[in-house]
Each structure stands twice: as C-alpha cells, then as structure tokens.
C-alpha cells in the first residue's frame, strides 16, 4: 500500500494560489504516488487551531502566504536563519520526530531565478515598495549586490522600516519618495514588489537601455511596466516556481524537483485563466 503524504498552502485569500498546480506537477514528475497538495483559506485568527489539528504523521509540510508569514513563527518549534533574517516563514516542514520547522524559500528562490537568467552579481539595485516581499528582496540582494540599494516608498514609516531591514541584513539602503520612483528605472536591477496597478504609471518612463526588472506579480501578466521594459524581465512566476522547487525538495526529501515541468504547469494554468 502506498504511503500517503499531505501538504497544502494556507493563506487568506487563497483561491488564486498557483502552489497546488506547481507542487502537484512536481509530484507527478518525481513519480511520488500518494502525495496530495491542497489549499485552505486560513487567516491569522484560525491559524493556531488549524495547526493544532494536523497529524504530523500524515502531513509533510505547509506553504504559507499572506497574512501568515509572521503570524506562524510563535507556533513553530524553530525557524532557520534565513527565515529569522526577515522574520518571515513561507515554508513549514514536519519532521519524523514531530517538530515543525519554518523556513523562507522566497529569498533563495529569488536568487536562483536571477541566476537562471545569468544575473549573479549587480553593482546596485532599486526596490519599488516596502513590506514583507521587499524585505525578502533585500535579503536576496544582500547576497548578490555589491553597491547601494534604493527603496522607493510612500511614507516615512515605510522608509524607516526599509532602513531597519537594511541595517539588520547588512545592506546599504537609501530611501526615496515614491514621487521620484522613475529614478529607480536606471538601476542595474529593479525589483518591483508593489500591488497590481501601483507601478503602472512608470511604464512610460522606462529608459531605452534598461537593466533587469524583477516584477514579483504574476497576475495580471505582463504588467504594464514589464511589457514596456527594454532589458531582461523576470516575473512572479519565476519566483514562485523557484521557491516551490525548494519547498518540494524540503517536504518530500527528494532532490532535483522538476523545474521545467513545474514552470510549464504554472504557465498552462495562467493561460487557462485568461491571464
């Protein structure tokens, strides 16, 4: 009898998540029979009860999206240094001894996505926006950026937050007002972490010879900024696939998750949804 293993993505809202498509494609590609991957609508208030009801012998792991990445930390037995560096967990792995360990695969996922496009080092970078995704971007840039990072934000509170993360992660961070965000577009690498529509007006300001753009959105895609970009472009699906590869490997214990098959499944799902 095939042993059954369960995994799922939690968050609120969650109906849009592509994680089930990616993880199921990985299971198929790896020949893992009996593995299931679901999605559950879970907010911060419901999270403790949901975790308490899981049987560690049956569950292999969880993927977490907003608003749970920080709320889950006190409910775990431990977190990795990577997750601790940004105080955000997007991956929970259940071990044989019943422990629940949190990790953050967004950071190495972003680095791997850039490496796939031949971007291993940059002399400087700009981040559009602030918040959890921006802090993960800063953590990734701490490993590949040799120069200053400028964060374009909408408030002094956000500016203080980004400077705090810069100090914590060892990154030289300068903050600038969102009104001057067009200045970001000349950076060697631009990481857009803003919600859909927030950076659309910048599309008209893209220089003729731009560096690389990593726009973390995947729906809708391409964004106006990505469509207008004149240099290399990475999108949210690139990040999602690479971080999911790392999640699959951690949860299953099987190396070399099938990146190409997972990306193809994600692209097919987005195409089917009319994105």
Quick one: tokens of 199? 């950076």
Containing 28, the helix (H) or strand (E) segment is: helix 19-30
Q: Among the options 5, 23, 69, 263, which is catalytic?
A: 69
Q: Which among 202, 219, 197, 169 has a CA at the least distance from the CA of 16?
A: 219
Q: Which among 77, 104, 76, 100 has a CA at the least distance from the CA of 88?
A: 104
Beta bridge partners of 214: 191, 234
Residue 13 falls in which region: left (phi positive, over 0), alpha (psi -120 to 50) or beta: beta
- Asked about 69 being catalytic, the answer comes back as yes
DSSP letter (8 states) at residue 219: S
182, exposed or middle or buried, with CB in 10 Å at 0-12, 13-18, 19+? middle
Rounded distance, CA 142 to CA 36, Å? Answer: 35
Q: Can you tell me which residue has the tokens 């299931």?
A: 36
Rounded distance, CA 138 to CA 165, Å? Answer: 8
Strand ranges (E), the chain: 5-11, 35-41, 59-64, 78-79, 91-94, 100-103, 125-128, 149-153, 173-177, 189-192, 212-215, 233-234
Beta bridge partners of 176: 152
Quick one: tokens of 90? 């997007």
Indicate which residues carry an active-site annotation.
Answer: 69
């Amino acid at each position: 009898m095939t042993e059954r293993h369960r995994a799922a993505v939690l968050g609120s809202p969650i109906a849009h998540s592509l994680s089930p498509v990616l993880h199921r494609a990985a299971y198929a590609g790896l020949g893992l029979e009996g593995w299931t991957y679901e999605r559950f609508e879970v907010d911060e208030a419901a999270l403790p009860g949901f975790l308490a009801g899981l049987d560690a012998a049956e569950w292999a792991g969880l993927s977490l999206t907003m608003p749970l990445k920080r709320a889950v930390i006190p409910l775990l037995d431990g977190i990795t240094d990577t997750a601790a560096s940004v105080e955000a967990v997007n991956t929970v792995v259940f071990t044989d001894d019943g422990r629940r360990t949190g990790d953050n695969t967004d950071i190495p996922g972003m680095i791997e996505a850039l490496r796939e496009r031949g971007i291993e080092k940059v002399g400087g970078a700009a981040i559009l926006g602030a918040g959890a995704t921006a802090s993960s971007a800063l953590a990734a840039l701490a490993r590949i950026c040799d120069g200053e990072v400028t964060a374009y934000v909408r408030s002094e509170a956000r500016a203080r937050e980004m400077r705090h993360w810069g100090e914590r992660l060892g990154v030289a961070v300068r903050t600038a007002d969102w009104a001057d965000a067009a200045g970001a577009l000349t950076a060697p690498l631009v990481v857009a972490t803003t919600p859909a529509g927030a950076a659309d007006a910048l599309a008209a300001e893209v220089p003729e010879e731009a560096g690389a753009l990593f726009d973390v959105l995947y729906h809708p895609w391409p964004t106006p900024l990505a469509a207008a970009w004149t240099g290399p472009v990475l999108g949210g699906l690139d990040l999602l696939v690479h971080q999911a590869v790392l999640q699959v490997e951690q949860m299953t214990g099987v190396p070399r998750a099938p990146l190409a098959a997972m990306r193809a499944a994600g692209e097919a799902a987005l195409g089917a949804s009319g994105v």
